[in-house]
Amino acid sequence: MINWLLLAAFILWVIELLISGRRPALPRLLLFLTCALVGIGGWMALNAKSIYDSDFYAFVPLWNLAPQLAGSVDYATSAAWMTRGALLLCAILFVVDLSQSNRWLLRLWYTIGLVAGSIAFLGLLQKATGARMIFWQEAPPWGATTFFATYYYHGNAGAYLNLVWPLTAGLAVRAFTTSSHPGMRALWMSMFILTLAAVAANTSRMAQLIALLLFIALCVKLGPTLLRKLSRIEKNIAIAGAIAILLTLVALGQATHLEQPLNRWQTVSERIPNDARWRASRVAISALPDVGFFGFGPGTFRVVFPSYNSVSINHVPGTWRFLHEDYLQTVLEWGWVGSGLWGLLFFGGMVIAIRSYKKPWAQHWRPRRRLLQFFAIVALVGVALHALIDFPLQIASIQLYVATYLGLCWGGAAWQRSEVRGRGKEHGGQSSEDSRE
């Protein structure tokens, strides 16, 4: 479903470009990375050397175009992964172009905030009612005891919440620092409280630790600025509001069984040293000498890992669809060249966003642009940390959010030109929503 929606969005975007006769302002480095990644992944799938038979746990050889060149070890998995991967890369380009519009930038931000609040509310409601499965269905035989909202695994749910709660915080800050309607202030403050409470109620310790670090960073960065803008009466109101928010979070915690994540923190010293993910990472490290320049093929970790695991002294039981270390899994699947390109796309986008944010002309951005850029960077830092011990970047919905944020980061380099065009249009008329900023 996500693939079809992304394809429809891309086709409609291309049609709009053709009708309007314009060229989107896309960074050349981003275009190069997109073409290189699609080319490498597409070639690995097209030149696949085998296909994995999951019934007999065997690799069935295939005829391929160039046997002497690199190719995926599983055609089906790599072809499916590249279909989604190519569409996500196109989504980044689409968001880069979309972000040049002040109106659509705000609409995108609103959409993320509303969806975040709804997902957080669902998770809290499930906790409060003692649901045994997502949407109150019957629990499966294998027992998904760590689900939250629409995620089977609490770690992925926590990674998603850490991607969205900074943006709901930004919407709340924007609502109280501009002449917004009281209803909008109440709405975005509610979304912020819900997403923050969901992080506390979720049982992922890593997600809670990252959320705490991000929250401290936001307070250090924005706290003094906000306090300077507030009068004495407004400061007293803010303190009272903070106390009310804290009490609300405590009440939500009691209603949503906050003792579950607290109990997990009490056993942290026992669980961490014996966690199977560390042994699985050692098994994956033993496979690094065989990855070469282009790896085993996109998405092939699940079929490659059992072969190395079965002969390793660090053997781990069970079936491993993902390694609890996104960066190491990326190296296995994409090799040294492909993983380097992905790293340049991900971390390069963050660096470009930070540089754009610190440019002198960034001071003339609209407040919505400065706020959204800052909070998007903070959210990406959170998921980058989480990827060290989990696999959030392998989950389709989280990939979509990361692609959207990367589009905002890469698009920030061209915001100076779009702001100039926007200022020029103001002389001919401006919406009431824009005029408040």
Question: Is pLDDT above 80 for 223?
Answer: no
Residue of 284 and 416 predicted with greater confidence? 284
Question: Is pLDDT above 70 for 423?
Answer: no
81: burial class by Cβ within 10 Å (0-12, 13-18, 19+)? buried
Question: Is pLDDT above 60 for 432?
Answer: no
Q: Biggest alpha carbon distance in the chain? A: 76
pLDDT value for 254: 54
- Looking at residue 276, its amino acid is A
Q: Tell me, what DSSP letter sits at residue 148?
A: B
pLDDT value for 244: 61
Alpha helices by DSSP H, listed for 73-150, are: 75-98, 102-129
Query: Are 60 and 50 within 8 A, CB to CB?
Result: yes
In this structure, what token pair is assigned to residue 300?
A: 């092939």
pLDDT value for 109: 96
Give all strands (DSSP E) within 44-92, no chain letters: 50-53, 58-61
d(CA 101, CA 422): 8
**One-letter-per-residue 3-state SS of 216-256:** HHHHHHHHHHHHHHCCHHHHHHHHHHHHHHHHHHHHHHHHC
Query: Are 405 and 412 within 8 A, CB to CB?
Result: no
pLDDT value for 232: 54
Residues 429, 413, 13, 376, Cα dihedral to 10°: -90
For 341-368, how does the pLDDT look when each residue is reduced to its tens digit (9 = 90+)?
999 999 999 999 999 888 887 777 888 8
**Taking Cα atoms as reference points, which of 170, 268, 248 lies closest to residue 214?**
170
Lowest-confidence range among 33-37, 43-47, 169-173, 256-260? 256-260
pLDDT value for 430: 47
For 110-122, how does the pLDDT look when each residue is reduced to its tens digit (9 = 90+)?
999 999 999 999 9
